[in-house]
Chains A and B, each alone.
Chain A
Amino acid sequence: MTDDPSSEPAVRALRQAHALLNELPSSGARARILQAAASVGSTPPRRARFAFGGGSFLPRWFRGPSFAGAAALGFVVVLAISLALYVDQSQKTYEPGAKGIEIAQNSSGIAATPAAPQMPSRTMSSDRGNLVAEAGARGAAALSGSEKERLAVPDHASDLPSFASKPRQDAASGAAGSPANRALALQEAQSASGAVAAPAKEARIASVPDLSRNSVGLSTARTCAQSAAPAVATQGVASEELQTKAGSPVYRSSAKSWLERIEALRKACRDDQADAELKLFHETYPQVPVPEDLRGP
Chain B
Amino acid sequence: MRAYAQGDVASFEQLYVRHERAVYRFLLRSLRTPSMADEMLQDVFLSVIRSATSYEPTARFTTWLYRIARNRLVDHWRSHDAVALESLDEVDGCDVPYVESLVAATSDQPEQIALDRGRAREFALAVEDLPAAQRETFLLHAESGLTLDQISAVTGCPRESIKSRFRYACAKLRARMSHWSES
Contacts and interface: CB of A to CB of B under 8 A. Distances in A.
A162 interface: no
Contacts of A40: 49-50, 52
Contacts of A18: 21, 25, 120, 124, 143
Contacts of B20: 24-25, 30
Interface string B50-86: 1011000000000000000000000000000000000
A37 B16 contact: yes
A48 B115 contact: no
B63 to A, nearest CB: 14
A33 B120 contact: no
B173 interface: yes
Given A17-B124, A45-B7, A23 B174 contact: no
A8 B28 contact: no
Contacts of A33: 16, 41-42, 45-46, 49
B7 A41 contact: yes
B8 interface: yes
Interface residues of A, number: 37
B9 A26 contact: no
A42 B12 CA distance: 12
Contacts of B41: 25, 29, 33
Contact of B9 (A10, A42, A49): A42
Interface string B97-118: 0000000000001111101110
A69 interface: no
A52 B145 CA distance: 32
A41 B25 CA distance: 26
Nearest to B177: A13
B120 A21 contact: yes
A21 B117 contact: yes
A14 B127 contact: yes
B24 A15 contact: no
Interface of A: 1, 3, 5, 8-18, 20-21, 23-26, 28-30, 32-34, 36-38, 40-42, 44-45, 48-49, 52
Q: Which 7 A-B pairs have the closest CB atoms?
A: A17-B120, A10-B173, A41-B9, A20-B120, A11-B142, A29-B38, A10-B170
Given A14-B123, A17-B124, A21-B117, 4 more contacts: A5-B142, A8-B142, A12-B112, A37-B12
20 contacts: A9-B113, A12-B112, A13-B113, A14-B173, A15-B142, A17-B124, A21-B117, A23-B25, A23-B34, A24-B20, A25-B20, A29-B41, A30-B16, A30-B20, A32-B42, A33-B42, A36-B46, A41-B49, A44-B7, A45-B6
